[in-house]
Structure 1
Amino acid sequence: MTRATDRFLVSETSVLPMSEPGGSDRSLRRELCWTRVVCITFTLMCTAVCALVFAQLLPGCKGTGHGNKENGSEAPHRDTQIGARCEDFGLDEAGSAEPHPAFLKIDCRSLSASAQYFLIWERMKFGSFNLSEKNDTLIFPSDGMYRISLQVTYRGTDQVPSAMKNILQHHLFVYSDSYQTERTILSAFETVYYDSSTWRKSLYSEGIFKFHKGDTLKVQTSDLRLIDCDGNPGTKTFLTVHLHGAAPVSCV
């Protein structure tokens, strides 16, 4: 009985085929190879994206002074032209976003030579701005939006006949080649009442306007004899101009 059972068990037993030697190793190596390829590709893509973002954040106005070579030929004037454009906006070659403002102080010594009641300014360093030969006209260096701030201080004087009231006023005139005529862009008025010549009054006005390169700005007042020239007149009557906001052209 025992032998029959053994024969039955032997007949029912099947031998499983053995897997080919080295097959699982090749499959594992193939998976590792694909994993490495995917990791390297992802790393290269991340590096390229980071390099592109970093290049966009670099300041545009380098001013290195070296010419670029394109197609085997050198372009020595490109950086010079970039520096010139940045200079037009009062920017330095490092790409500083803060322009150099113009601060004009009244020149009381020359007011008597002024025609049509235009204010005369002291000739100083105005960044990229310039003054006309008569020192009564400010010349804009470039296109852009500019903030204009003006203060004029008046006072009573024996040179002007005494009256119960006086209307003080000043106007800012702009001349542009695009209009071929002077335009008033800003005015200020004030009526003062007094019974003696010992009075003072300051008028302040401000605005943001668009100017083109070469445009000129003048300030006209109602009576130059009423301008307060006592003490330090530059702290009482002055004009400031600076570029407002971002520069309208890119220095790149």
Structure 2
Amino acid sequence: MVDYTAAPGDVEMGLEDRSVILVEKKSSTEWIWKVFGTLLIVALCLGAVLLCGWYRNAPEMTTQSGQIEALMEKDSAEKTDPHYTLRQISSNSKAAIHLEGSYDEDNESSKKELEWKNGQGQAFAQGLKLVNNQIEVPETGLYFVYSQASFRVSCSDEEDKEAGERFTPLSHRIWRYSDSIGGKASLMSAVRSVCQTTAQEEDSYRDGRSWYNTIYLGAVFQLNKGDTLWTETNQLSELDTDEGKTFFGVFAL
């Protein structure tokens, strides 16, 4: 909108000689509308650019979302694995080893001892070695040492017990040899009595004439470079060496 104003004339001049000059006067709101329109156009252009970018990245975002869900499902499945905790701890360790036990009483050439296997079932070795059925310590430091022996014992019935036939208690031990102590020493050991209902009902169960029991050993020790560790177990013929039942391992802290 344009307004016009009349310029003042010379008062001494006659009315007939007075001239009128029209001066254009711009509206004060016109520049505000121009600025607002410019900002609106810029905002629309920016919105269009962002919308195009979102459509281009939508498939990638969907793929990433699917990958995240798959990883979450995999992580949930792994946590149900009974060996998940051991693998998680060992993955952060400088050295670790986990061995599965094996014993074949029908093999005449085998030694009369529990044989430890690497690369079988859940067994693995990382920085620690199995040599001559013993674990060698590579470096001085703190280590968590653990082992479990599972037994399935055939007990005598009451008549045999009265006749004096009783089963020998089960035992499992971890030995250490170190030059620093000048010989071998027992790290851990435990003994279990079997075929006695009053002593076994709490931590084992009976199936017919068989008793099932486990001995678990585990603790932290300061070990030196070159130390060796091995186990000693009695009643080898009664051992249950199915996967995950009898094992021996060490990992650095």
TM-score, normalised with respect to structure 2: 0.49
Give the structure with higher Rg (CA).
Answer: 2
Higher strand share: 2
Q: TM-score, normalised by structure 1?
A: 0.50
